[in-house]
């Protein structure tokens, strides 16, 4: 027998041995493959359900009404109203439409500490009419603010909103409080804080003495120094 023929016989014998051994392992291999396919199917089903849940959650977050809080301390009510109207109308959402009522709730606090520019407290006048003869009244800003600290902010937002039939419905989602006390049922719904238009300055008598002493000074007078 030639050398090439011997090699072919050896290879055929080895293949037969491998096939016979694989026949014994075939049930184990099939069982393992079936379990693997079951695991792959379960994982794919879980991923599909997770994707559907995330899509539903995104849609819910898009159409839900969010509660915002805005601190009106030392803020211009008319500039603040131009910013707050976007939250009441929902123009900051991708689903906005002029006929779609998709606005959010806005809670305004510290309305009694608003700031008007210049001498507007003495010169700005608010008009009101009772619809009866001789029922016209003109009230200065400081007088109106002393009667009700929430009216100036309310009138500013009402003036900033579009003049249509939805303005009254949008105003129902505006909640104004003269101080920082918010009812508990509203406080638990708030999930976002609107940034103030201007930073509130801190008075010197409100800064702790330890912070003032630790601030670097250019010149320190001696204790026995007398100012002339």
Residue 103 CB burial class (10 angstroms; 0-12, 13-18, ≥19): buried
pLDDT at 183 over 70: yes
pLDDT at 28 over 80: no
**Whole-Å CA distances, 81 to 52, 108, 194:** 39, 11, 12
The rounded radius of gyration (Å) of the Cα atoms in the chain is 37
pLDDT tens for each residue of 201-219: 888 888 888 888 888 888 7
pLDDT tens for each residue of 35-53: 565 566 565 666 666 665 5
> Residue 4 belongs to what H/E stretch?
helix 3-63
Alpha carbons 42 and 48: distance in angstroms, whole number: 10
CA-based nearest residue to 65, from 156, 161, 169, 168: 169
pLDDT at 185 over 90: yes
pLDDT at 100: 83
Neighbouring CB atoms inside 10 A of 135's CB total: 9
Question: Where does residue 198 fall: left (phi above 0), alpha (psi -120 to 50 degrees), or beta otherwise?
Answer: beta
Alpha carbons 137 and 126: distance in angstroms, whole number: 8
Domain segments of the chain as ranges: 7-62, 65-197
Alpha carbons 12 and 85: distance in angstroms, whole number: 86
Across 160-182, average pLDDT? 95
- pLDDT confidence band for 24 (50 / 70 / 90): low
pLDDT tens for each residue of 109-147: 999 999 999 999 999 999 999 999 999 999 999 999 999
Across 25-31, average pLDDT? 55
Across 170-182, average pLDDT? 96
9 or 148, which is more confident? 148
Computed over every residue of the chain, the mean pLDDT equals 82
* CATH for the 65-197 domain, from 3.90.1410.10, 3.90.1180.10, 3.40.50.2300, 3.30.300.30: 3.90.1180.10
Q: Which residues of 203-220 are buried (b: 16+ CB within 10 A; e: fewer)?
A: eeeeeeeeeeeeeeeeee
């Amino acid at each position: 027998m030639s050398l090439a023929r011997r090699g072919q016989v050896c290879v055929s014998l080895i293949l037969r041995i491998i096939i016979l051994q694989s026949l014994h392992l075939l049930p184990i291999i099939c069982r393992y493959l079936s379990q693997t396919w079951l695991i792959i199917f379960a994982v794919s089903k879980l991923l599909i359900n997770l994707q559907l849940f995330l899509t539903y959650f995104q849609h819910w977050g898009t159409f839900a009404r969010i509660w915002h809080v805005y601190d009106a301390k030392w803020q211009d009510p008319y500039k603040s109203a131009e910013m707050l109207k976007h939250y009441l109308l929902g123009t900051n959402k991708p689903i906005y439409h002029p006929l779609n009522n998709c606005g959010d709730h806005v809670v305004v606090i510290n309305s009694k500490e608003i700031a008007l520019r210049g001498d507007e407290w003495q010169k700005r006048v608010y008009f009101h009419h009772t619809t009866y003869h001789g029922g016209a009244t003109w009230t200065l800003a400081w007088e109106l603010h002393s009667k009700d600290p929430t009216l100036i902010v309310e009138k500013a937002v009402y003036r900033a909103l579009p003049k249509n039939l939805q303005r009254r419905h949008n105003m129902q989602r505006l909640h104004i409080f003269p101080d920082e006390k918010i009812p508990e049922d509203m406080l638990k719904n708030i999930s976002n804080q609107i940034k103030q238009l201007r930073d509130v300055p801190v008075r010197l008598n409100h800064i702790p003495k330890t912070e003032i002493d630790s601030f670097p000074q250019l010149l320190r007078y001696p204790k026995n120094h007398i100012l002339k």
